[in-house]
Structure 1
Amino acid sequence: MLAISFFRQSSGGFYEPVFTLDNFGRFLSPFFAKVLTVSVSFSAGAAAIAVAIAFPFTYLLVQMSGRAQAVALVFLLSVLSLSEVIIGFSWSTILSQTAGIGNILAGLGLISESRSFSPSSGALLTALVYLGFPYSVLVIYPAMSRLDPEIPEAARMCGASPVRTFFTTVVPMMRNTITGALILVFVFTLGAYILPQTLGRPQDWTLSVHITDQAVFQSNLPFASAMSIFLLLVSLALVGLSMLLGQTETKR
Structure 2
Amino acid sequence: MRRNPPQKPADYLPIAFPAAMLALFFVVPFGIMVAISVFKRVQGGFYEPAFTLDNYARFLTPFFGEVLMFSLALAAIVSVVCLLIGVPFTYLLTRIGRRYQVLWLITLLAVLSLSEVIIGFAWSTLLSRTAGLSNFLVFLSIMDKPEAWTPGFGAVMTGLVYQAFPYTVLVLYPAFSRLDPSLMEAARTLGSSPLRAFWNVVLPIMRKTLLATFIIVFIFALGAYLLPQILGRPQHWTLSVLVTDQAIYQSNMPFAAAMAVFLVLSSLFLVGLSILVSEKKGIGTP
Please tell me whether the aligned partners of residues 55 and 140 of structure 1 are also in contact (alpha carbons under 8 angstroms): yes
Mind listing any 5+ residue stretches in structure 2 that lack a counterpart? 1-32
Amino acid at match of 1:194: L
Please tell me whether the aligned partners of residues 41 and 254 of structure 2 are also in contact (alpha carbons under 8 angstroms): yes
Mind listing any 5+ residue stretches in structure 1 that lack a counterpart? none
Amino acid at match of 2:170: L
Residues 14 and 211 of structure 1: is their aligned pair in 2 closer, same or farther, counting only changes over 3 Å?
Answer: same
Amino acid at match of 1:221: M
Q: 3-state SS of the aligned residue for 2:147?
A: coil
Separation in 1, partners of 2:202, 2:111: 27
Separation in 2, partners of 1:184, 1:222: 28
**2:265 match:** 233
Q: 3-state SS of the aligned residue for 2:41?
A: strand
Deviations 1:135-169 (A, max 9, x none): 11111111111111111100000111111111111
Q: Aligned-pair distance for 1:111?
A: 2.2
Separation in 2, partners of 1:29, 1:18: 22
Separation in 2, partners of 1:130, 1:199: 13
Counterpart pick for 1:183 among 196, 199, 215? 215
Separation in 1, partners of 2:178, 2:277: 17
The alignment of Structure 1 onto Structure 2 pairs a total of residues equal to 252
Please tell me whether the aligned partners of residues 58 and 137 of structure 1 are also in contact (alpha carbons under 8 angstroms): yes
Q: Aligned-pair distance for 1:251?
A: 7.2
Q: Aligned-pair distance for 1:34?
A: 0.4
**1:43 match:** 75
**2:95 match:** 63
Q: Aligned-pair distance for 1:69?
A: 0.9
Amino acid at match of 2:171: V
More displaced 10-residue stretch of structure 1: 236-245 or 38-47: 236-245
Deviations 1:48-98 (A, max 9, x none): 001110000011011111111111111111111111111111111111111
Q: 3-state SS of the aligned residue for 1:3?
A: helix
TM-score, length basis structure 2:
0.84
Q: Aligned-pair distance for 1:242?
A: 4.5
- Root-mean-square deviation (CA, aligned residues, Å) is 1.7
Q: Aligned-pair distance for 1:46?
A: 0.6
Separation in 1, partners of 2:219, 2:276: 15
**1:12 match:** 44
Deviations 1:19-53 (A, max 9, x none): 21111121222222101111011111111001110
Residues 149-164 of structure 1: pairs in structure 2 closer than 5 A: 149-164=181-196
Percent identity over the alignment is 55
Counterpart pick for 1:108 among 136, 140, 143? 140
The structure that has the greater radius of gyration is 2
Separation in 1, partners of 2:69, 2:194: 38
**1:120 match:** 152
**2:241 match:** 209
Counterpart pick for 1:144 among 159, 169, 176? 176
